[in-house]
Amino acid sequence: MWSTTPAPTVPVLAVTRIGGQAFVYVATQDEHGSVAKQRAVTLGDTVGNDYAVQGGLNPGEKVITSGTQFLIDGAPVKPIS
């Protein structure tokens, strides 16, 4: 039997792998403005050019999808609309 369940997705290019663990960067607020924070995630299947996210993200968090190869944890970021 097949079933479907809604799940958040992230672009494949937003995911970084370190030692076999998948990470994404999320934009968070601190006293200096928006900064990038690295977050471990549990990924499911690919859906087109995206991964289904099974764990590690909270609703409403903003995943950074471009320029991630230049980011480090705590780097200042400027969200675009």
Q: What is the pTM of this model?
A: 0.86
Query: pLDDT tens digit string along 15-70?
Result: 999 999 999 999 999 887 899 999 999 999 998 999 999 999 988 899 999 988 88
CATH classification code of 9-70: 2.40.420.20
pLDDT tens for 3-18 read: 677 788 999 999 999 9
Here the tokens at position 75 are: 């780097």
Looking at the predicted structure, is the pLDDT value of residue 75 above 70?
yes
pLDDT at 1: 66
In this structure, what token pair is assigned to residue 47?
Answer: 């859906």
| Stated length of the chain | 81
CA proximity to 14, closest of 38, 44, 30, 33: 38
pLDDT at 2 over 80: no
